[in-house]
Chain A
Amino acid sequence: DAGVTQSPTHLIKTRGQHVTLRCSPISGHKSVSWYQQVLGQGPQFIFQYYEKEERGRGNFPDRFSARQFPNYSSELNVNALLLGDSALYLCASSSASGRAHNEQFFGPGTRLTVL
């Protein structure tokens, strides 16, 4: 069984550009969450999607958006990139939604550098 996969692994952009990050969850998992991890800090929640609907949104500006496709893969989009958006972006999949939480499995992450 393949785990959570993310692409690309590394990305370099310049300020003002936009970026699209991709995630494929574990087969059978319908929930995907996105996190931003700045060096030296814990992951910060950005979005959660379940069955293609947004179920949670963290404290991030509207420049951040996401969507989930019928096959449960997901994209995270960030517009008008700022230097402070440089971070490791982690995707996590889970079989659960609602209050019955289950283990989240993290992908390897996408390392975004904004110059």
Chain B
Amino acid sequence: GENVEQHPSTLSVQEGDSAVIKCTYSDSASNYFPWYKQELGKRPQLIIDIRSNVGEKKDQRIAVTLNKTAKHFSLHITETQPEDSAVYFCAAPVTGNQFYFGTGTSLTVIP
């Protein structure tokens, strides 16, 4: 069946260190992979996305890498700051127009 697996479920890092979150997907036809940040009580906000015609995309301290052969993509946050603490979700389109979300990673950045 369709699924997007996300690891780890929780992640604690010291301020200034890097954080990496990984997701795998099942539909080889998927071609767009967004990452969302959700703070407590708020809506998911897109922080970065990548299309299947590129292998990596960067936006300041945030980067996403995509391995289409292995069907996985990762979020990298460098020089983490306390305000990066939130729940992060990956998503992938599976069968048509349905987006499936991962189970989320709760990131805590320790000052």
| Chain A residues within 8 Å of B, Cβ to Cβ | 31, 33, 35, 40-45, 48, 50, 55-56, 58, 90, 97-99, 101-109
- Give the shortest distance, in Å, between A81 (CB) and chain B (any CB): 23
Q: Is the CB of B98 within 8 A of A58?
A: yes
Contact of A45 among B29, B89, B98, B104 (CB under 8 A): B98
Q: How many A-B residue pairs have CB under 8 A?
A: 59
| Contact A104:B97 (CB < 8 A) given known A42-B104, A90-B44, A109-B43 | no
Per DSSP, chain B at the interface is: strand
Please classify how large the interface on chain B is, using the bins under 10, 10 to 19, 20 to 34, 35 or more. Answer: 20 to 34
List the B side residues contacting A101 at CB < 8 Å: 31-32, 93, 97, 99
From A43, A44, A58, A90, name the one whose CB has the most chain B CB atoms within 10 angstroms: A43
A42 with B102, Cβ < 8 A, contacts A55-B97, A107-B43, A109-B43 known: yes
